[in-house]
Amino acid sequence: MRCTQEGYGARLRPMQNISSGSGSPSPVRTPAPLGFGRIFSEHMLTLQWSQGRGWHDVQIKPRAALAVDPAASALHYGQSMFEGLKAFRGADGVIRVFRMDAHLQRMHTGAARLAMPAIDLELTRASLLEHVRRDASWVPRERGQSLYIRPLLFATEGFLGVRPANTYTLLVLLSPVGAYYEKGLEALRIWVEQEHVRTTPGGLGAVKTGANYAASLLAAARAKSNGFDQVLWLDAVHRKNLEEVGTMNFFVRIGDEVVTPPLGDTILAGITRDSSLTLMRSWGVRVSERVISIEELIAASRSGALQEAFGTGTAAVIAPVGELGIGDLRLRLPAAPGEIASRLYNTITGIQYGELPDRYNWLTAICP
């Protein structure tokens, strides 16, 4: 596989100067267990945007606290959004970023909904690759571990008036993360949330923004205190159609049909969802993106047609569901993970670590 030189000083500097704090690579420090989002690499990437100037001032500098105006609109009015993608080190030593362009494109689209400036796809891509390359020693070496890449775009203007801000920062953090499953795919217990909703038609559900996460925290915490791992969100209007599971897209297999709710403004267009749909279609699995109600799910469970249920997302890849709680009702699924969930998990992780062919050009390999 060809690796990309993109982001190397020579290609980037004519566009923007990257200033950097310390240049010397640090030794790999990956204390076990890494967990998720607790440990950060040495550097952070920042880009600034201001009205009239556009994107400028690209810096890769030591990770440190930010100086943010206390009136910054991101803090007061939530004008902020993020992304989450991963880089993997294969047994061959090559570092591969999974579906980078799809993630950057999603950020580009989401920014418009929040009246934020579009990210510069070329510049962001090149600087992000350079950032990962500089902190390459932070990409863990064990199968199952990876480097989580967290871009964040937020409004920095110190102004209390309510309108889109005129200055923004795009920041990227890198965090070595552990294997999500230490002992095989573990099945989740899911609480079907009937009181709170994650988002509404016309709202921000299709954007990866902190506001949606803030709306979800209380229901998730309550579900946890009742012995469940996550919630299944229902639509805000009818309170009956399945939407997402926690912060993952949701799939069920009923008989030989795999169903996932259709994209729209209440569902985040997950890239793992898209990868899963692509793979299942290539295997000849019957997949439908269609509305599915909680009644249909209960009926399928009663008739024995409900074969499997799982969530998809970058962090876990595939999260099989073992049980659903709906009020007093408990639906138990056949042995989780099911056949499709396992096959998707093995195939996607196989591609990510460079063990299976990259048929769909999902990987960007970084030159050592």
Ligand X SMILES: *Cc1c(COP(=O)(O)O)cnc(C)c1O
Please report the beta strands in 178-313, taking only residues with DSSP state E, as ranges in sequence order. 188-193, 230-234, 242-245, 248-254, 257-260, 286-289, 306-313
Residue with smaller CB distance to ligand X, 244 or 296:
244
For residues 344 and 280, is the Cβ–Cβ distance under 8 A? Answer: yes
Residue with smaller CB distance to ligand X, 247 or 352:
247
Residue with smaller CB distance to ligand X, 12 or 206:
206
Cβ 158 to ligand X, closest distance in Å?
Answer: 28
Binding site for ligand X (CB under 6 A): 84, 208, 244, 247-249, 268, 270-273, 312-314
Residue with smaller CB distance to ligand X, 60 or 232:
232
Q: Which helix (H) or strand (E) holds 296?
A: helix 294-303
Cβ 290 to ligand X, closest distance in Å?
Answer: 18
Q: End-to-end alpha-carbon separation of the chain, Å?
A: 13
For residues 332 and 338, is the Cβ–Cβ distance under 8 A? Answer: no
Looking at residue 158, what DSSP letter applies? B
Distance between CA atoms of residues 104 and 59, nearest Å: 18
Cβ 214 to ligand X, closest distance in Å?
Answer: 12
Residue with smaller CB distance to ligand X, 58 or 309:
309
State the Cα torsion 58-61-65-66 to the nearest 10°: -20
Cβ 114 to ligand X, closest distance in Å?
Answer: 14
Cβ 296 to ligand X, closest distance in Å?
Answer: 21
Rg (CA), the chain: 21
Residue with smaller CB distance to ligand X, 165 or 317:
317
Mutual orientation of helices 121-134 and 100-113 as an angle, nearest 10°?
130
Distance between CA atoms of residues 165 and 49, nearest Å: 11
Residue with smaller CB distance to ligand X, 133 or 208:
208
For residues 76 and 69, is the Cβ–Cβ distance under 8 A? Answer: no
Cβ 148 to ligand X, closest distance in Å?
Answer: 11
